[in-house]
Each structure stands twice: as structure tokens, then as C-alpha cells.
Amino acid sequence: MKLFVDTANVDDIREAESLGVICGVTTNPSLIAKEGRVFEEVVKEITEIVDGPISAEVISLEADKMVEEAIPLSKIHKNIVIKLPMCAEGLKACKRLTEMGIKTNVTLIFSAAQAILAANAGATYVSPFLGRLDDIGMTGMDLIEEIADIFSVQGIKTEIIAASIRNPIHVVDAARAGCDIATVPMGVIRQMIKHPLTDNGIERFLKDWETVPNK
């Protein structure tokens, strides 16, 4: 399973990239708003840091306008993927952008039925949000497993991005379920690195090494 970093913060993106573990970035309007910077400038800077799919989301709710927004965004860099909200207009825009050769990520997927529609509209990626389902007392991972099963049985090429990841267990379970990608906040990537036994082990090896003669 590939990992993307889920943020619009360029310092976090640089940190994730320097680890050598991520191959793409997802942003959304909330993440962009947190940065207090011009959208297009942030997106351009991200494309200079990571050489992989960079999702940039449109905010219009009408297909013609979504396509109008998507075209200049897609021209920022060849790696730009247009993120579209899951709704009737988003599906129409997905179909049209796909026909134009522009990659898409249909976001805010909360049911397998929505994922099937997005795949049929030609989506390059679908983003089921598991954390937000957990937040309302549902089991987000059930949705991820359901979509992964359906896409596998049907031979659907659309890639599944496990999104709204809250902790390392989400990442591991998404990998087990057969997701193609998990998009992970930098804080969760940092948590994934750490294990107390690893830290103790490093400390003990270094302490023992001090006793080795003539090194």
C-alpha cells in the first residue's frame, strides 16, 4: 500500500518527503484554509517538493464551474489530481475531466454505492473517509473493506485512498483490507515511526557498544 501525506503544510510535506515513505499529497479546502496562503501558490510549491499525485479540490457545486476551476489547476503541474466532491454534479465533472485526460479524486465517499458511481464516472481515485464514520459511531473500516472487496471482485481500476485517517491502526487495517493508498496526516506518520521497544533497543545497543574494546 502506498502512502500519501494529507496536509497543505509545506514544512510537514518536506518532512514526509525527506523520510522517503510518501509518494503523493492530498489537500482539501479546510487544510488549505489553515495555511492562510494563496491556494494556487501552495499547490505549486507542493508540486516542487513531491513528484507524485497532488490532489487539489474544487469548491464549485455545479459541474460546468467545477470543470472551469479544474482546468487552470490541472495546468499548474502534470501531477495535479482534481479532487471533486461526491455529488451528482461532481460525477458529471468527473466524467468530463476524465474524457479530457485529467486525473480525478472523488472525495467524501461514505458508501460503497457512491464508490461504484465514482468508478463508473472514470475516477482515478476514490477517497472513503474512515475517521469521520468512526466519529459518528460507525465502523469506517467496514466501508473500506466493502469497497476493496467490490473493486477486487469487479476488476475496477479506480484506486482506493483510505482517507480521514486518525491513527496508525487505521493505516495498518487499510493495508490489510487491500487499499491502494492511505493518505496520512504527518502526526500519524510520526506515530507510525515510534515504538518504545525500538527506542529501548537502540539505547541498549549503543550502551553495549561502549564496552567493545579497540573500536
Applying CB under 6 A, the residues found at the interface with ligand E4P are 6, 26, 28, 107, 127, 129, 131-132, 163-164, 183
Query: In the complex, what is the shortest distance from the CB of residue 67 to ligand E4P, in angstroms, rounded to a whole number?
Result: 20
Spatial CA neighbour of 4 closest among 30, 22, 27, 28: 22
Query: In the complex, what is the shortest distance from the CB of residue 2 to ligand E4P, in angstroms, rounded to a whole number?
Result: 14
Question: Which residue in the block uniquely carries the three cell numbers 501558490?
Answer: 41
Spatial CA neighbour of 130 closest among 179, 187, 81, 191: 179
Q: Work out the number of other CB atoms within 10 angstroms of the CB of residue 201.
A: 11
Q: Work out the number of other CB atoms within 10 angstroms of the CB of residue 25.
A: 29
Question: By C-beta, is 29 or 178 nearer to ligand E4P?
Answer: 29
Residue 83: active-site member? yes
Residues 128, 215: Cα–Cα separation, whole Å: 54
Question: By C-beta, is 6 or 145 nearer to ligand E4P?
Answer: 6
- Active-site option among 34, 65, 83, 194: 83
Question: By C-beta, is 34 or 195 nearer to ligand E4P?
Answer: 34
Q: H helices within 54-139, ranges in order?
A: 63-76, 88-99, 112-120, 130-135
Question: By C-beta, is 67 or 109 nearer to ligand E4P?
Answer: 109
Q: Is 134 exposed, middle or buried (0-12, 13-18, 19+ CB in 10 A)?
A: middle
Spatial CA neighbour of 152 closest among 113, 118, 179: 179
Query: In the complex, what is the shortest distance from the CB of residue 163 to ligand E4P, in angstroms, rounded to a whole number?
Result: 4
Query: In the complex, what is the shortest distance from the CB of residue 184 to ligand E4P, in angstroms, rounded to a whole number?
Result: 9
User: Which residues on neighbouring strands pair with residue 4, listed in sequence order?
Assistant: 183
Question: By C-beta, is 172 or 202 nearer to ligand E4P?
Answer: 172
Three cell numbers written together for 142: 467496514
Query: In the complex, what is the shortest distance from the CB of residue 201 to ligand E4P, in angstroms, rounded to a whole number?
Result: 32
By annotation, the residues acting in catalysis are 83
